[in-house]
Each structure stands twice: as C-alpha cells, then as structure tokens.
Amino acid sequence: MSNIDINQLLSQMRTMAAAAQGSNAVQTTEEPDKPGFADLLKQSVQQVNDAKLTAGDLSEAFVRQDPDVDLAEVMVALQKASLSFQAMTEVRNKLVQAYQEIMNLRM
C-alpha cells in the first residue's frame, strides 16, 4: 500500500484543472466556513481510526472479562470497524484510479 500525500494530490489536480481551462491561476470557489475535500477526507479517516480504537478497547475489555462488555457488543464494534476500513480502502482506490486517469490524459 503506497502512502499518498492528499494535499499534494489535490494541488496537482487543481493545477491540471486550471491548465485544462486555459488559466494559470488556480481559482477556488470554496467558502471559508465550508470544509474542503481534504478536510472531509481527513475527518473520514479519523472516524475510521476512532472505530478501530473503540473496537480494540472493547475487545480488550472483553478479554479482561469486564462484566459491562458482552460478546455481541464487541462483535458489532469489530464489524463496524472492519466495514468502515473496507469502505475507506475502496474510496482510496477510486481516488488513485481517478488520479492515474487524469495523469494519463496529459500524456
């Protein structure tokens, strides 16, 4: 799995979009109070990480035989973490695929 700097990727995509429009300056129409794509992506990754940490904490508590944690709760948390990670991986794959398609258009 390769680590891709999202900000660098977005910068390159904006530059290519500006070049395709015939403009050298990158124009953004985002309002300052609205989160950008990078912010939304960062929040999504943080939510996936939080789900993983929660599932890990619950499974550790279950192994310690904490009476407040039951098996069903642990299994649901583990499934949520697994599904959110799979979804994040698919989104990453689609982003990489879109980036590669854009890069191929330049050649």
Q: How would residue 55 be classed by pLDDT, with cut points 50, 70 and 90?
A: very high
Give the DSSP letter of residue 5.
-
Q: Which residue has the higher pLDDT, 94 or 20?
A: 94
3-state SS class at 67? coil
10-21 residue pLDDT tens: 676 677 677 766
Q: How would residue 37 be classed by pLDDT, with cut points 50, 70 and 90?
A: confident
Identify the sign of the CA torsion 56, 80, 6, 1: positive
Question: Given this model, what pLDDT does residue 34 score?
Answer: 75
% of the chain at pLDDT higher than 70: 74
Question: Given this model, what pLDDT does residue 21 score?
Answer: 67
